[in-house]
Amino acid sequence: MAIKKIGIVGAGTMGSGIAQVAATAGFDVFLQDISQDQLDRAVHVIGKSLDKLIEKGKVSEAKDTILSRIKMTKDLTVLKESDLIIEAVFENVDVKKQVLQALDNLLPSEVIFTTNTSSISITKLAAFTSRPDRFMGLHFMNPVPLMTLVELIKGLQTSSETFVQVKELAEKMGKVPVEANDFPGFISNRILMPMINEAIFALMEGVGTVEAIDTVMKLGMNHPMGPLALADLIGLDVCLNIMEVLYEGFRDPKYRPCPLLRKMVEAGYLGRKSGRGFYKYS
């Protein structure tokens, strides 16, 4: 089936970025969220990002033309016309289960479902639907309009046809797909998150200040961003959820989430999206 219309569930950091990239690539997009505030925020964020990309000459089409391809909605049933689904709701199994089951009841069985999960088992999420052969991981990186990588993750039952179609879609969206196997955190977060978590331990134990830790990793290791600034960009709640999945998935204490990370999330310091994380944002 030719993919023309993409249904995206969750209009947060990732869903809005994926919608922008899909619409820029010419796809019609339905972007659904339960929160009107998040949909309003998505319109604003996508508009600002397109302005910058157009100014830099990286996007040639008019902003309004691209925006006209995105239909924002709170109503999940609008997504029933989608040719493919990308799920990008909270990194929480119960929330994802509820959304995937609702979509499964709504959409014809030939429609492929993908999930942008950072760490949860694809096989487990696929099993919530009646189409585990047409289900796989399509893991974009943040910020989606700027990062070229996507991880493609097959579940135990994902068919080769599904894999080929999703790989082609990722390429049409201008991304470079890399295949990872279905283990907690896949490749990217298996390596990245323990590093961020360790940076938070170093801060908690007083090994260095926020600035010192980030400067060491930037100037000493040539990372474009320090791990604490990166955690703020990703979202501290997202980081905590991923560490929990790694810890649960491997039952290895090396993946235990840092208590300071947990405290920050409890305090509502979620990083850039809440205005405060390891740094303050106005």
The answer to whether 226 contacts ligand NAD (rule: CB under 6 A) is: no
Binding piece for ligand NAD, criterion CB under 6 A, among 33-41, 48-56, 163-171, 208-216: 33-41
Give the whole-angstrom CA distance, residue 51 versus residue 62: 9
CA 149-152-154 angle, to 5 degrees, is 170
Give the whole-angstrom CA distance, residue 44 versus residue 125: 31
Binding piece for ligand NAD, criterion CB under 6 A, among 104-112, 116-124, 199-207, 248-256: 116-124
The answer to whether 162 contacts ligand NAD (rule: CB under 6 A) is: no
Active site residue 274: no
The answer to whether 137 contacts ligand NAD (rule: CB under 6 A) is: no
Minimum distance from residue 53 beta carbon to ligand NAD (Å): 19
In Å, what is the CA distance from 24 to each residue of 69, 107, 147, 191, 206?
A: 9, 25, 14, 31, 45
The answer to whether 142 contacts ligand NAD (rule: CB under 6 A) is: yes
Binding piece for ligand NAD, criterion CB under 6 A, among 111-119, 122-130, 164-172, 214-222: 111-119
Interface with ligand NAD (CB under 6 A), residue from 6, 7, 8, 10: 10
Nearer to ligand NAD, 99 or 229 (CB): 99
Per CB under 6 A, residues contacting ligand NAD are 9-15, 32-35, 38, 88-91, 95, 98-99, 116-118, 139-140, 142, 234-235, 238
Catalytic positions, written as ranges = 118, 139, 151, 189
